[in-house]
Amino acid sequence: MSLCRFIACMVLAGFVVDTVVAAPATLPAYGADPQQTSVSGLSSGAFMAVQLQVSYSGSIIGAGIVAGGPYYCAANNVLFTEICTGQVRSVRPNSLLMANAAKDFASAGLIDPLLNLTHRRIYVFSGTDDSVVRQPAVDATVSFFRHVGVQGENLKYVNTVPAGHAVITPSYGNDCSANAAPYISHCRVGSQAYDQAGAILQHIYGELHPRVDTPTGQVVSFNQRAYATAATGMAETGYLYVPQSCTAASARCKVHVAIHGCRQAAESVGNQFYTDTGYNNWADGNDLLVLYPQVNKSETPYNPRGCWDWWGYTGPNYAFKSSPQMKALMAMVNRLVQQR
C-alpha cells in the first residue's frame, strides 16, 4: 500500500447538521467542569485521541479509540505508518516498546505521569472486517494501555462486531461491513442497533440519561486561529455543539472532544461530521459540550488528505504536550472551562 493510498484510506466518518451560528472571534467560555473532559476519534482521529489521553492524562479522564493504533507507533517516521495500521502482515506494532518510550517521555516531563492512566477509562473498537486499520494494530493499542497501567473494567475492547472501517451508528450510513466513504456504518449486535457514541460516553462517564432522537442545541462555529496558526495544518474554523442546558450561567457541563479523520473536515464533507455520529443526541440530556476541532488539507505542512498528525508532519514533538496540534486542542478545552 502506497503512502498516498494509506493517507487516502484514513478517512473518518461524516455527519450533518442543519444550522450553524456565525463564527465569533474566539470560542465562548462556558464554565465547564475541568475534571470532566474526554476524547474520542476514528482512524487518524483515534491516533490523536490516544496521543491526547496519554500526553494529557492528568486532564483527560477517558478516551474512545475507534480503529486507532498505539501511542508513538510511527516514532516520528512516516515510513512506519503502514506497520501502525496493520498493513504489513509480517510485522506488528511493538506495544511494549511504545510503552517504554512513553515511560521515558513521562520521566523527562514531556507528557503527564503515566500513573494517571490507572484511573482512566479507555474504550477501544476494531471491526472484524476493517481493511484500513487492521485488528493486529488495534490489538497493540489495547496491549499498550495494559502496559501503562489501564486494567480490568477500565479498559474495554470491542472486537467482534463485523464492521468495516467506520464510526458505528444505530441507523445512519453504510452497511456494517463497508470500508467506504463516508466511513460511517450502521450495525446490529444481536437484536440491538449498536450506538457507538453512547457506548463510548457511558464507558467513560458511567450511566447517562437516554439519547434524544432530535438534538435541540446549537452548533457554534469559532475561529481556531486564536489557538493554532496555519502552520499547524489546522483549519480556520472549528465547531462546538452546545446543548440548551449548557447555556445557563450556573451550568457545569462536561466536555467531549470528537476528532475527525483524513478528508473529514468541513472543507471536504461540509457539516456532516458533527451531526450524524450520535454524540449530539447524547449531549442534550447529559450536559455535554462536544468540541469538533478541524484539520484541513495542506501542502505545508505536507498533509494533502487533511489528517491529524500522528507521525510527525508538524515536527518531532507531535506526540508530546508541546505538540502544536495538541496544545491547540487543550487550549480550546481550557477556554470552555473558563468562567463566563
Q: Is 130 a catalytic residue?
A: yes
**Would you say 280 and 215 are in contact if contact means Cβ atoms under 8 Å apart?**
yes
Alpha carbon distance 80, 319 (integer Å):
15
- How would you write 280-308 as a 3-class SS string? HHHHHHHCEEEEECCECCECCCCECCCCC
Determine contact, residues 251/33, Cβ cutoff 8 Å: no
What pLDDT score was predicted for residue 24? 53
Please answer whether residues 23 and 326 qualify as being in contact, where contact means their C-beta atoms are separated by less than 8 angstroms: no
Return the half-sphere exposure (C-beta side, CA atoms, 13 A cut-off) of residue 101: 18
- Rounded CA-CA distance 102/83 in Å is 19
pLDDT value of position 7: 38
Residue 43 among the catalytic residues: yes
Peptide bond into 301 cis (omega under 30): yes
Please give the Cα distance from 13 to 21 (Å, whole number): 22
pLDDT in tens, the chain (340 residues): 333 333 333 333 333 333 455 545 689 999 999 999 999 999 999 999 999 999 999 999 999 999 999 999 999 999 999 999 999 999 999 999 999 999 999 999 999 999 999 999 999 999 999 999 999 999 999 999 999 999 999 999 999 999 999 999 999 999 999 998 888 899 999 899 999 999 999 999 999 999 999 999 999 999 999 999 999 999 999 999 999 999 998 899 999 999 998 887 889 888 888 999 999 999 999 999 999 999 999 887 889 989 999 999 999 999 999 999 999 999 999 999 999 8
| Three cell numbers, residue 255 | 466536555
**H helical segments located in 159-255:** 196-205
The DSSP bridge partners found for residue 111 are: none
Residue-range domain boundaries for the chain: 3-337
Among residues 279, 288, 296, the alpha carbon closest in space to that of 184 is found at 279
CA distance 91 to 73: 12
Nearest Cα neighbor of 126 from 168, 89, 90 is 168
User: Residue 72, CB half-sphere, CA atoms under 13 Å: how many?
Assistant: 26
| Start-to-end C-alpha separation, the chain | 49
Distance CA 103, CA 114 (A): 7
The one catalytic residue in 38, 40, 43, 57 is 43
Distance CA 108, CA 230 (A): 29
How, if at all, do strands 192-193 and 188-189 pair? antiparallel
Note the pLDDT of residue 20: 55
Active site residue 104: no
- H/E stretch holding 140 reads helix 135-147
Q: Which residue among the candidates 55, 126, 130, 143 is catalytic per the annotation?
A: 130
Give 70's Cβ-side CA count (13 Å radius): 29
Cα gap 54→308, rounded to integer Å = 16
3-state secondary structure of 123: strand
Contact partners, residue 269, CB within 8 Å, separation at least 6: 14, 182, 263
pTM for the complete prediction?
A: 0.92
Catalytic annotation, pick one of 165, 186, 203, 256 = 165
What does the alpha-carbon distance between residue 294 and residue 264 come to, in Å, rounded to a whole number?
9
Q: Are 9 and 165 in contact (CB under 8 A)?
A: yes
Residue 109, number of CB atoms within 10 A of its CB: 10
